[in-house]
Amino acid sequence: MLHAPTPVRASLDPAVLDALRSRFGEQLDLRESIRTQHGSSEAHFATVLPDAVVFARSTQDVVDLVNICVPARVPIVPFGAGTSIEGNAVPVRGGISLNMAEMNRIVAVRAEDFDCTVEAGVRREQLNEHLRDTGLFFPIDPGANATLGGMASTRASGTNAVRYGTMREAVLNLTVVTPDGRVISTARRARKSAAGYDLTRLYVGADGTLGIITEVTLRLHPIPEVISSAVCGFATLEGAVDTVVQAIQLGVPLARVELLDDVQIRAVNLWSKLDLPEVTTLFFEFHGSPAGVAEQVELVRGHAAENGGGDFAWSNRPEERARLWKARHEAYYAAIALRPGGVGWTTDVCVPISRLTECIALTKQDLERASVPATIVGHVGDGNFHVIFSLDPDSAAEHAEVAAINDRMVERALAMDGTCTGEHGIGLGKQPWLVAELGEAVDVMRAIKRTLDPHDLFNPGKIFAL
Amino acid sequence: MLHAPTPVRASLDPAVLDALRSRFGEQLDLRESIRTQHGSSEAHFATVLPDAVVFARSTQDVVDLVNICVPARVPIVPFGAGTSIEGNAVPVRGGISLNMAEMNRIVAVRAEDFDCTVEAGVRREQLNEHLRDTGLFFPIDPGANATLGGMASTRASGTNAVRYGTMREAVLNLTVVTPDGRVISTARRARKSAAGYDLTRLYVGADGTLGIITEVTLRLHPIPEVISSAVCGFATLEGAVDTVVQAIQLGVPLARVELLDDVQIRAVNLWSKLDLPEVTTLFFEFHGSPAGVAEQVELVRGHAAENGGGDFAWSNRPEERARLWKARHEAYYAAIALRPGGVGWTTDVCVPISRLTECIALTKQDLERASVPATIVGHVGDGNFHVIFSLDPDSAAEHAEVAAINDRMVERALAMDGTCTGEHGIGLGKQPWLVAELGEAVDVMRAIKRTLDPHDLFNPGKIFAL
């Protein structure tokens, strides 16, 4: 990392440590190796060690931790799978890293209602494995095998969002432990409700700053009768993006449509042992009835051909599909590996789809001039795309260069009435942009934070400075 | 009404009245007839007159009103079309009724992005009329020709929600005037964002208690290639509900599916001059491609037949469809008219769909024993249904009887993990139930209210007692 680990705060007050030891026993871990693991992220942020790690096994554990830490003014930072991208779980003010991984019980699956309840530490692949025999699946797929609590907290979305929505739409109800140690349920299981303020949506995307999510009730979807995947390379970046924009504007219910630029395809070929032509490429997935999928494929194939698309290779075979999407999921690691010893810096923006072609094309021009490897990967059906840089971890010049490209990309997106983050969250990395994007609305957010967490102890230092 | 109008508070302080007169001129109305109109609702709630009515023409008008009223501690209650059902716009503590009807400009339609921005006083029929030539439509349809600001504030949904979602999903961005007189924008126009707390969803459904919505940016949808409607009568209530539940569980993308019980069909026949068989009936609408719609119709027809459904009459003809849905939209007035001089009391609950058949059947038993006419109308694809009673406005006994039936219905829904209101909002009528439904989560709502509206002046007395 560029920066040495920030010195941790003075170690925990002995009385607090005693209380934690006596309540949590082996669930408390003070080893430096474990603290380091919980203080680092997958991206370029400086590591900051928590004072201790607590492994929660129940909602009551979280309540008890809150009741020890809040009176002693010790911060608590929830930690899921550690796969967030904007430093969301880095304990920048020390305190307790609250590992949720052992809260991994699937509490209930109610196939007849298309919903389930899971503990916050359940991972999405575990859930889909569990659901396999029900004919249902949980569609939200950010790539990483994240925890569902973490996905709710960061308002994650990913490859299926164009069809199935994001965590905002997927969550029916949350169990949350508040900074005053109460356990609340934000909603019932009805599909819709007009009962009071929408607290579910307030906690979804709050990065753990307002409460700690311990259980999540999720909407599920029927596994489609037919799933087809397709790959198509394009002569130009613009042709690929235009194909998607036109399909969306025609109302084609694409289940997934992912853009990988030429550099990303090269990275994927190397990492995942594929031999795709190294041009801008779209990965599609179509869900529906046999007739419905055939209709969609024909429509999209026509638009692709008109926009300089090459061979439109499609397949209903599960193993083919799995190979393709495995490569897509590994895109982040593949991009970083373009440079031996590189560290990843990834950023995302989302713009109205009418501006997407222009936004991606201008960003690509910046990347072509950059001195570090950089790829574009996009959930383009939503107007959302990512850039992944691979940096020398010790080069201040490269950090500055990437920061400047990132700034221009976000400025461009905001000028197009877009957002500084489509799905990674504000965390640490996007804080300078939140105010540029939403102005005084951020004061309303701050007022809510101050009221619900008056001592600024729940994941402090994230989203905004208080 | 059962209760005489509550005496209004002492009239406005003369200095406030002067300030309002000088700023608003003819936009200020003090006439009793106008105040009475703004103090009454379409339902059974007692009329409470505001001290004055102000007709807003711009966001700046709202800001200036807030800056006059808040320092003087005068309540402000936004008023859209006056079609809300739970007393949401009744100014129970007097003050200003803020009529938004003149803020009826369609600010922008961006067909290529499937979105539009409208002032809060635009009504949904006006918007769809305006959109007619774009190939797009705004699907959310609560029946009444409500304003879009009011629909956002009450988190309205209605007949199309099973396919297109509710106002929660439809709103991309809101312009809101806060109690401290600031104008905020809650989001940008990107389809998704992870930028900070989801203030959009906080104001959607807040009943105007946290801020006054002055502009709304909405998602639009392509007008489907084919729209088919169908009507089917059933031998039993259970058979009708089971048909819907099975179709939903199979993943049939129904655009609309409405249940009207035998009494409601009788009311509709009388009111809308139809001659439908007076049995429990489902109204369907199917959207899609020709092949897609044909698939859906065949699937549903099969389930209807297995569940005791009669003739499955379907049609692609727009005039046939319009006649049917006009009758559905008039169901509320038709039900009230079952009794000359009756006043309406309507209530709604929403339950997980696996419990819907049981919930409706038990409710129907209660209604059959009731001494007042009562009908069931349901957005059954969501698990949501309404009961409409027609009461003698002066009978305390009837009010008590209906209140008891309503109580049992809500208790039943809550026991099934449902909600006390699927789409009408808490307003005045459902306040006793909000705490039963969400417990201490209501304290979190109260904390947010106290922070954002510290003097309790924005639609005070709604959703909960502070």
d(CA A210, CA A424): 18
Encode pLDDT of A318-352 as tens digits: 888 888 888 899 999 999 999 999 999 999 999 99
Q: Find, among B439, B429, B436, the residue nearest to B45 by Cα.
A: B429
Give the nearest chain A residue to B115 (CA atoms). A352
pLDDT at A3 over 70: no
Q: Find, among A197, A218, A111, A190, the residue nearest to B385 by Cα.
A: A190
Extended beta strands in B270-337, E state: 281-288, 309-315
- Interchain proximity B437–A195, CB inside 8 Å: yes
Q: Are strands B256-260 and B281-288 parallel, antiparallel or unpaired?
A: antiparallel
Helix B59-69 and helix B14-24: axis angle, to 10°? 170
For chain B, the average pLDDT equals 94
The three-state secondary structure class of A349 is: strand
DSSP for A266-284, written as a single string: HHHHHHHT----SS-EEEE
Q: Which of A157, A292, A442 sits opposite B192 (nearest CB)?
A: A157
Q: Which of A353, A382, A418 sits opposite B188 (nearest CB)?
A: A418
Cα distance from B206 to chain A (closest Cα, Å)? 6
- Interchain proximity A194–B384, CB inside 8 Å: no
Among A6-15, A93-102, B281-290, whose mean pLDDT is lowest? A6-15
d(CA B257, CA A125): 34
The residues in B 250-269 lying below 8 A from A, measured between CB atoms, are 250-251
pLDDT category of residue A5 using cuts at 50, 70 and 90: very low
Cα distance from A26 to chain B (closest Cα, Å)? 32
Sign of CA dihedral A162, B246, A138, B355: positive
pLDDT at A465 over 50: yes
Are A243 and A159 within 8 A, CB to CB?
no
Encode pLDDT of A167-190 as tens digits: 999 999 999 999 999 999 999 999
pLDDT category of residue A7 using cuts at 50, 70 and 90: very low
- Interchain proximity A419–B289, CB inside 8 Å: no
Encode pLDDT of A93-141 as tens digits: 999 999 999 999 999 999 999 999 999 999 999 999 999 999 999 999 9
Q: Which of B112, B182, B222 sits opposite A251 (nearest CB)?
A: B222
User: Would you state the pLDDT for residue A416?
Assistant: 98
Encode pLDDT of B190-248 as tens digits: 999 999 999 999 999 999 999 999 999 999 999 998 999 999 999 999 999 999 989 98
Cβ atoms < 10 Å from Cβ of A203 = 30
In terms of CATH architecture, what is A106-222? 2-Layer Sandwich (3.30)
User: Would you state the pLDDT for residue A43?
Assistant: 82
pLDDT at B406 over 70: yes
The residues in A 193-232 lying below 8 A from B, measured between CB atoms, are 193-199, 201-202, 204-206, 210, 221-222, 224
Q: Mean pLDDT throughout A3-8?
A: 43
pLDDT at B353 over 80: yes
Q: Which of A222, A295, A425 sits opposite B194 (nearest CB)?
A: A425
- Interchain proximity A198–B204, CB inside 8 Å: yes
Question: Where do runs of H (alpha helix) occur along B181-276?
Answer: 199-203, 237-249, 262-272
Cα distance from A135 to chain B (closest Cα, Å)? 10
HEC string of A291-334 equals HHHHHHHHHHHHHHHHCCEEEEEEECCHHHHHHHHHHHHCHHHH
Global ipTM: 0.95
The strand pairing partners of B119, in sequence order, are B215
Residue whose pair of structure tokens reads 């942009």 in the numeric block: A433
* Cα B288–chain centre separation: 26
Report which residue type is found at A47.
T
- Interchain proximity A421–B194, CB inside 8 Å: yes
The three-state secondary structure class of B209 is: coil
Give the nearest chain B residue to A222 (CA atoms). B251
- Interchain proximity B198–A201, CB inside 8 Å: yes
Q: Given CATH 3.40.449.10, say whether it is the number of domain A14-99.
A: no
Q: Given CATH 2.170.190.11, say whether it is the number of domain B226-415.
A: no
pLDDT at B30 over 90: yes
Residue A421 at interface with chain B, using a CB cutoff of 8 Å = yes
HEC string of B243-256 equals HHHHHHHCCCCCCE
User: Would you state the pLDDT for residue B153?
Assistant: 97
User: Would you state the pLDDT for residue A2?
Assistant: 44
pLDDT at B60 over 60: yes
B420 CB neighbours in chain A (<8 A) are 195
Q: What is the largest CA-CA distance in chain B?
A: 70
Cα distance from B39 to chain A (closest Cα, Å)? 22
Q: Which of A192, A202, A289 sits opposite B157 (nearest CB)?
A: A192
A191 CB neighbours in chain B (<8 A) are 350, 352-353, 382-384
CA angle A354, A359, A362 (to 5 degrees): 145
B441 CB neighbours in chain A (<8 A) are 184-186, 196, 199
Interface test with B, best of A157, A172, A193, A380 (most B CBs within 10 A): A193
The residues in A 423-442 lying below 8 A from B, measured between CB atoms, are 423-426, 430, 433-434, 437-442
The strand pairing partners of A259, in sequence order, are A282, A378
Q: Mean pLDDT throughout B424-451?
A: 96
pTM of the prediction? Answer: 0.96
Q: Mean pLDDT throughout A129-156?
A: 96
d(CA B330, CA B271): 8
Q: Which residues, including other chains, have CB under 8 Å from residue A153's CB and lie 6 or more apart?
A: A78, A80, A88, A203, A204, A205, A206, A207, A208, A213, A425
A195 CB neighbours in chain B (<8 A) are 419-421, 426, 430, 433-434, 437-438
d(CA B92, CA B87): 9
A414 CB neighbours in chain B (<8 A) are 188
Encode pLDDT of A43-97 as tens digits: 889 999 999 999 999 999 999 999 999 999 999 999 999 999 999 999 999 999 9
Residue A132 at interface with chain B, using a CB cutoff of 8 Å = no
Q: Mean pLDDT throughout A11-37?
A: 95
Sheet of strand B28-29: strand arrangement: B28-29, B52-55, B96-99, B76-79
A155 CB neighbours in chain B (<8 A) are 193-194, 198
d(CA B64, CA B268): 46
Helix B237-249 and helix B356-369: axis angle, to 10°? 160
The residues in B 151-170 lying below 8 A from A, measured between CB atoms, are 154-157, 161, 165-166, 168-169
Q: Mean pLDDT throughout A453-463?
A: 98
Residue A293 at interface with chain B, using a CB cutoff of 8 Å = no
Cα distance from A94 to chain B (closest Cα, Å)? 22
pLDDT at B109 over 80: yes
Residue count (chain B): 466
A168 CB neighbours in chain B (<8 A) are 192, 198, 201
Q: Mean pLDDT throughout B285-308?
A: 92
- Interchain proximity A439–B383, CB inside 8 Å: no
- Estimate the share of chain B in helix, then strand, then coil, as percent rounded to the nearest 5: 40, 20, 40
Q: Which of A115, A166, A354 sits opposite B113 (nearest CB)?
A: A354
Phi, psi of B27 (to 5 degrees): -75, -10
B353 CB neighbours in chain A (<8 A) are 112-113, 191
Q: Which of B221, B421, B441 sits opposite A199 (nearest CB)?
A: B441
User: Would you state the pLDDT for residue A254?
Assistant: 94
The three-state secondary structure class of B285 is: strand
Count of CB contacts below 8 A, A vs B?
Answer: 272
Give the nearest chain B residue to A115 (CA atoms). B352
User: Would you state the pLDDT for residue A4?
Assistant: 41
d(CA B171, CA B213): 12
The residues in A 314-353 lying below 8 A from B, measured between CB atoms, are 350-353
pLDDT at B7 over 70: no
pLDDT category of residue A392 using cuts at 50, 70 and 90: very high
User: Would you state the pLDDT for residue B373?
Assistant: 97
Long-range contacts from A4-8, C-beta under 8 angstroms, 24+ separation: A4/A46, A5/A39, A5/A46, A5/A47, A5/A48, A5/A49, A6/A46, A6/A48, A6/A92, A8/A48, A8/A49, A8/A50, A8/A51, A8/A94
Instruction: Say how many Å lie between the first and final Cα of chain A, rounded.
Output: 27
Q: Which of B178, B182, B197 sits opposite A205 (nearest CB)?
A: B197
CA angle B187, B191, B196 (to 5 degrees): 40
- Interchain proximity A423–B463, CB inside 8 Å: no
Instruction: Say how many Å lie between the first and final Cα of chain B, rounded.
Output: 27
What does the domain layout of chain B look like in residue ranges?
14-99, 106-222, 226-415, 430-466
Cα distance from A157 to chain B (closest Cα, Å)? 9
Q: Which residue would you say has higher pLDDT here, B426 or B2?
A: B426
- Interchain proximity A191–B444, CB inside 8 Å: no
Residue B173 at interface with chain A, using a CB cutoff of 8 Å = no
Q: Mean pLDDT throughout A10-33?
A: 93
Encode pLDDT of B68-91 as tens digits: 999 999 999 999 999 999 999 999
pLDDT category of residue A359 using cuts at 50, 70 and 90: very high
Q: Which of A183, A352, A451 sits opposite B190 (nearest CB)?
A: A352
Residue B132 at interface with chain A, using a CB cutoff of 8 Å = no
Cα distance from A156 to chain B (closest Cα, Å)? 8
d(CA B364, CA B341): 24
Residue B422 at interface with chain A, using a CB cutoff of 8 Å = yes
Are B393 and B45 within 8 A, CB to CB?
no
pLDDT at A390 over 80: yes
Residue A188 at interface with chain B, using a CB cutoff of 8 Å = yes
